[in-house]
């Protein structure tokens, strides 16, 4: 599946309506972003079951601000609408594969249950 351009109008629905969503926050003037782009696009082609989105931080400054993006590129991964990974910096292909594999393997329901404070009432 080709990467999807994400903006304020479709970011939340894309993240919440899909099992796994990876988001690349980037800008055209950013050298590391341009290096990471082809790696990200190749991973997108290899994993059609995952939504790969891109947010142009220049065009979507409010969205980038809301996501607390302070450095680009930044890769975020969401599973069932929950942020499970966020890291700035261009990843080499093997590291991106590790992130994807970890997100796929993550039992998000179990992780969320373990995070929930136990109610003693």
The verdict on residue 119 lying in a domain is: no
What is the tens place of the pLDDT at every residue in 72-113?
999 999 999 999 999 999 999 999 999 999 999 999 999 888
pLDDT of 121 reads 46
Considering the domain boundaries, does residue 16 fall inside one?
yes
Q: Which of 30, 76, 77, 96 is catalytic?
A: 30
Note whether residue 120 is domain-resident. no
Q: Is 33 a catalytic residue?
A: yes
Print the domain residue range for 87: 3-114
30 belongs to the catalytic site:
yes
Instruction: Give the CATH number for residue 72.
Output: 3.40.30.10
Query: Residue 106, Cβ neighbours under 10 Å: how many?
Result: 17
Q: How many domains does the chain have?
A: 1
Catalytic, out of 20, 21, 22, 33: 33
Residue with tokens 């998000």: 108
Under 8 Å between Cβ of 52 and 78? no
**Share above pLDDT 90 across residues of the chain, in percent, rounded to a whole number:** 88
In a domain, 121, yes or no: no
- Tens digit of each residue's pLDDT (9 = 90 or more) over 11-37: 999 999 999 999 999 999 999 999 999
- Can you tell me the distance from the alpha carbon of 38 to that of 42, in angstroms, rounded to the nearest whole number? 6
Is pLDDT of 120 > 60? Answer: no
């Amino acid at each position: 599946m080709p990467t999807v351009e994400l903006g304020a109008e479709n970011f939340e629905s894309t993240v919440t309506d899909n099992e796994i969503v990876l988001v690349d926050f980037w800008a055209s003037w950013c050298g590391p972003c341009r290096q990471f782009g082809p790696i990200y696009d190749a991973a997108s082609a290899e994993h059609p079951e995952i939504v790969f989105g891109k947010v142009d931080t220049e065009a979507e400054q409010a969205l980038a601000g809301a996501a607390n993006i302070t450095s680009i590129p930044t890769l975020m991964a969401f599973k069932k609408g929950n942020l499970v990974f966020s890291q700035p910096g261009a990843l080499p292909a093997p590291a991106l594969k590790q992130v994807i594999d970890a997100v796929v393997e993550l039992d998000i329901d179990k992780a969320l249950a373990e995070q929930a404070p136990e109610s003693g009432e």
